[in-house]
Amino acid sequence: MNLRILITLVISIVLVSCALTAPLPTPTPDYSDLVVTMERTPCFGTCPAYKLTVYGDGRVVYEGNMFVAVEGQQTTTISQDAVQELVAALENTEFFSLEDDYSAPATDLPSTITTVTLDGQSKTINHYGVCGYSDIDTAPKELCDLENKIDEITNSAQWVGK
C-alpha cells in the first residue's frame, strides 16, 4: 500500500472517531413563552404593594403602588442564568400542581398573586396571608420560598426597600 494512502486512511479514521466522541453542545432552553407575574397587594397596615413581571428573555417590569421606596414603573433585565434559576425554582415548587388558592382565615392581610405561563400552560395562585407569620397561613413552604425567590432573582428590594 502506498504510504500516502495509508497516512490519509489513518488521519481519516482518527478524525471520524474524534467526531463521534466529541460532546454535543447543550441546547439553550427556550423560554420564549415564559411570563411570571407576582403581585403583592396592600393590607390594613403598611404592607408594600407592588407587581413584578419577568419575561423569558430576561426583561423585568416592576410597578410600585403603595408603601414602597419607588412608586411607578421601572424596568431592568436579568441574565439567562437567572431566568433558568427561576424556571428551576418553579419546577422544584411543582407550581402547576399546587392549589389555586391558599387563604388564611383572617382579615386585613396582604395577598400574593402569582401567575406563571410556561410551555403552553398557565396558572394563577392566590395566597392570602403572610408566610411564616403564624400557624393560620395555609400556603405550603415551597410556595413561600418561590415568592421570596422571585423577589430575590429580580432584586425587587432596590425598588421596594426594606
Is 92 among the domain residues? yes
Does the structure show a pLDDT above 80 at 1? no
Sheet holding 49-55, edge to edge: 72-77, 59-66, 49-55, 35-40, 111-118, 121-128, 101-103
Is 123 among the domain residues? yes
What is the reported pLDDT for 15? 58
- List phi, psi (to 5°) of 74: -135, 150
Q: What is the CA radius of gyration of the chain?
A: 24
| Beta bridge mates, 63 | 51, 73
List pLDDT tens digits, range 55-89.
Answer: 999 999 999 999 999 999 999 999 999 999 999 99
- Expressed as residue numbers, the domain containing 97 is 35-157
CATH number of residue 145's parent domain: 3.30.1560.10
Q: Which residues of 26-42 are buried (b: 16+ CB within 10 A; e: fewer)?
A: eeeeebeebebbbbbbb
Angle at 54 between CA 53 and CA 59, to 5 degrees: 110
Is 6 among the domain residues? no
Query: At 156, is the pLDDT very low, low, confident or very high (cuts 50, 70, 90)?
Result: very high
Query: At 23, is the pLDDT very low, low, confident or very high (cuts 50, 70, 90)?
Result: low
What is the count of structural domains for the chain? 1
**pTM for this one?**
0.82
Is 87 among the domain residues? yes
What is the reported pLDDT for 21? 59
Angle at 87 between CA 81 and CA 89, to 5 degrees: 105
Is 80 among the domain residues? yes
Does the structure show a pLDDT above 60 at 35? yes
Q: Which amino acid is at 159?
A: W
Query: At 17, is the pLDDT very low, low, confident or very high (cuts 50, 70, 90)?
Result: low
Is 110 among the domain residues? yes
Is 121 among the domain residues? yes
Angle in degrees, 0-180, between the axes of helices 80-93 and 141-154, rounded to the nearest 10: 170
Is 19 among the domain residues? no
Q: Are 130 and 102 in contact (CB under 8 A)?
A: no
